[in-house]
Amino acid sequence: MTFDLTKIVRPKIYNLEPYRCARDDFKDGVLLDANENPHGPTQPGLEGSGLNRYPDPHQLAFKTAMANFRNGENHQYKDLPQPLTAENLCLGVGSDESIDAIIRACCVPAKEKILVLPPTYSMYSVCAHINDVEIVKCPLITSDNSFQANTDEVIKTAQNDPSIKLIFITSPGNPTGAKVETSRIEKILQNWDRGMVVVDEAYIDFCGGSTAPLVTKYPNLCVLQTLSKSFGLAGIRLGITFASKEMARVLNSMKAPYNISSLASEYALRAVQPDNLKVMKQLSLENKSQQHRLVKELTSLPNVHKEPIGGLDANFILLRIGNGDGDNDLAKKLYYKLATESGVVVRYRGSELGCTGCLRITVGTKEENDKLVKEFAKLLTQLTSN
């Protein structure tokens, strides 16, 4: 299979010359080149913060540290041609900016399409609609509760429709919580070269096994990650795209010159230092322990299915409420009462494919989970005894 990125990326974007900003040339000295305010921030207490200056447009220190972190986990891959470097990364304001950028780069509005695997993250469809790009759906396997990619059907659908340019795979899935087997992803990569396979790994550090190192082997692969989940930095809005150096160059040419703020950059770089990576991994293990506790206690209740739906590879659980195939009405009432009467907010997901009667519950702290279990049991008893 011969992959040619020039046939995937829109020509004007592939050949785009990135905006050249003041900080591309010089970062030190008497800086009179960017029309910044030389007196510093106008707010008291921010003296000496440097926030009157534009941030580093390239974030090389963070990119290098993040690449090294993922390289250290690639022991499952034996035949990679080279390790990840900073040149394989592009940063965005959360993964949502990355999703939008990839669609804009590859899909001609009103002519080309993306393929999604529902139930899945709804921002793929939102970004597609904004960009006037059609959506093709190839559902995950729901009959066996695995929520794995229907690999052969994905390949067949993509091969039979040359207007499909992107395949979005969420792994671990949202709302399914199931990590898509790497062998399935590789099979798609090996059998389809008319577009990019985009693997969204927002929750990957709760289960391990990132496919990010594979971008050095498969030029038709992009991997999205974020600091919002396992790193606990949702507020700084920093997303990461791993791609071939050629594709990363395209995405870096498209981005706004200073899209990552100085504050976001500072906290991001701290997050990938060795001591803080250890903390992240430890907290992920604690999260897993509380996750299993919630599964055990909540599935023991009447009118809750005895097994969670999907997998336990993320930081949440997906429970089916009601008898039989699930009860959306009961699930909605429980969701609403938890929020309005108990102050415990979960997410109703019953309208998603294969998720009838389902509530998605993020794993909280021990104290938060104590309250969840208590209120969940009380309100469910009230609702089903009337």
In tens, the pLDDT along 309-348 reads 999 999 999 999 999 999 999 999 999 999 999 999 999 9
323 burial class (0-12, 13-18, 19+ CB within 10 angstroms)?
A: middle
- Determine how many CB atoms are found less than 10 A away from the CB of residue 124: 26
- How much is the CA Rg of the chain, to the nearest whole Å? 23
Q: Which amino acid is at 127?
A: C
Beta bridge partners, 169, equal: 199
Q: Which amino acid is at 322?
A: G
Residue ranges in the chain modelled with pLDDT below 50:
none
Domains 5-20+57-272 and 284-385 share a fold: no
Q: Which amino acid is at 268?
A: A
- Residue 18, preceding peptide bond in cis (omega within 30° of 0): no
Q: Report how far apart the first and last C-alpha atoms of the chain are (Å, whole number).
A: 62
- Determine how many CB atoms are found less than 10 A away from the CB of residue 286: 12
Q: Which fold has domain 284-385?
A: Aspartate Aminotransferase, domain 1 (3.90.1150)
318 burial class (0-12, 13-18, 19+ CB within 10 angstroms)?
A: buried
What is the residue-wise DSSP string for 32-74?
Answer: -SS---TT--SSTT-TTS-TTSPPPSS-HHHHHHHHHHHHTTG
Q: Which fold has domain 5-20+57-272?
A: Aspartate Aminotransferase; domain 2 (3.40.640)
Residue 163 has phi, psi (to 5 degrees) of -85, -10
- The dihedral built from the CA positions of residue 61, 63, 64 and 70, taken in this order, carries a sign that is positive
Q: Quote the tokens at residue 248.
A: 């990363």
Q: Quote the tokens at residue 307.
A: 């097994």
Q: What is the number of alpha carbons within 13 Å of residue 73 lying toward its C-beta?
A: 17
Residues 6 or more apart whose Cβ sits within 8 Å of residue 58: none
Please state the domain extents for the chain: 5-20+57-272, 22-55, 284-385
Give Dmax (Cα) for the chain: 74
Helix (H) or strand (E) holding 375: helix 366-385
Reference 155, options 181, 191, 183; nearest CA is 191
pLDDT for the residue numbered 18 = 85
